[in-house]
């Protein structure tokens, strides 16, 4: 469901409409609240979208603990008041923000980093609800990979529409060595959130040719779609490569 929604949403041309669609998709999945936040490498120039508009009234968004504690790897982490005991380094002011989010219904959440600290801009998504820790983990134990892909595509689209720094392309995984240079370029772009039209424009190809390169590249990699390609790309960050079935 998340991937199908992403395909529809990334065609939108207005960031407000995009955010509304993202929130509706999260709520259908079971997450009542969502935050998208990014900052510059110096923790300045924060940009955020949130279902809790006044969340940062007492603490600036640049000080959100997600940015300081969750953006050191691409791991999808459980955060929020329900999981705060897992993070002994949380400061009193950060704890206050977490508690406020909990009172607003963001008690248990996933942190989904899209770019890591040290990048030109970094940040990602926080999505969650009012569940307690055990119930949350039980309800969403199998969703991490699909959630990360959806967030990856939506993060890319948000940055396109807001004009902030685009998500950087990763190095090709070693598995890409079996692809032709064009196949590797096309599959990498698609895996990293570019639409086929954007990929065609960047590579100076027709959309039909992009589709041909994608199909041949997927076949050589033993995968079937962009979701599996994205998982393979993320394997460069130390995550397991997708299994073909």
Say if CB 65 and CB 106 are below 8 A apart: no
Q: Give residue-wise pLDDT tens across range 159-200.
A: 888 877 655 566 677 888 899 989 998 998 888 777 788 788
Please list the residues that pair with 125 across neighbouring strands: 36, 112
Q: Mind listing the pLDDT tens digit for each residue in 109-145?
A: 999 998 888 788 899 999 999 999 999 999 999 998 8
pTM value? 0.75
According to the model, what pLDDT value does residue 138 have? 96
Q: Give the integer Cα–Cα distance in Å for 233 and 239.
A: 9
Look at 104-108, 230-234, 237-241 and tell me which has the smallest mean pLDDT: 237-241
* Contact of 166 with 153, CB cutoff 8 Å: no
Q: So what's the pLDDT on residue 215?
A: 96
Is the confidence at residue 236, as pLDDT, over 70?
Answer: no
Q: Is a pLDDT exceeding 70 seen at residue 239?
A: no
Q: What is the mean pLDDT of the chain?
A: 88
From the centroid of its chain, how far is CA 116? Answer: 11
More confident residue, 123 or 236: 123
11 or 88: which leads in pLDDT? 88
Other C-beta atoms closer than 10 Å to the C-beta of 226 total: 23
* Cβ 125 vs Cβ 151: under 8 Å: yes
- Rounded to an integer, what distance in angstroms lies between the CA atom of residue 160 and that of residue 14? 10
DSSP string, 222-241: T--SHHHHHHHHHGGGTPPP
Domains of the chain: 2-162 (3.30.450.80), 174-237 (1.10.10.10)
């Amino acid at each position: 469901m998340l991937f199908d929604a992403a395909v529809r949403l990334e065609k939108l041309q207005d960031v407000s409409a995009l955010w509304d669609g993202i929130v509706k998709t999260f709520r259908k999945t079971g997450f009542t609240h969502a935050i998208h936040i990014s900052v510059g490498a110096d923790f300045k120039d924060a940009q955020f979208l949130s279902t809790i508009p006044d969340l940062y009234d007492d603490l600036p968004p640049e000080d959100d603990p997600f940015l300081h504690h969750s953006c050191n790897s691409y791991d999808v982490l459980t955060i929020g008041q329900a999981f705060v005991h897992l993070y002994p380094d949380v400061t009193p002011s950060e704890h206050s923000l977490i508690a406020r989010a909990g009172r607003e219904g963001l008690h248990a959440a996933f942190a989904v980093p899209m770019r890591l600290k040290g990048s030109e801009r970094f940040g990602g998504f926080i999505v969650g609800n009012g569940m307690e820790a055990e119930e949350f983990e039980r309800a969403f134990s199998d969703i991490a990979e699909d959630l990360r892909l959806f967030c990856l595509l939506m993060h890319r689209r948000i940055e396109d529409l807001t004009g902030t720094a685009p998500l950087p392309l990763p190095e090709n995984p070693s598995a890409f060595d079996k692809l032709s240079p064009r196949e590797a370029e096309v599959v990498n772009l698609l895996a990293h959130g570019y639409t086929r039209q954007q990929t065609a424009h960047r590579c100076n190809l027709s959309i039909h040719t992009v589709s041909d390169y994608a199909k041949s590249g997927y076949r050589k990699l033993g995968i079937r779609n962009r979701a599996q390609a994205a998982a393979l790309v993320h394997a460069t960050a130390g995550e397991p490569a997708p299994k073909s079935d």
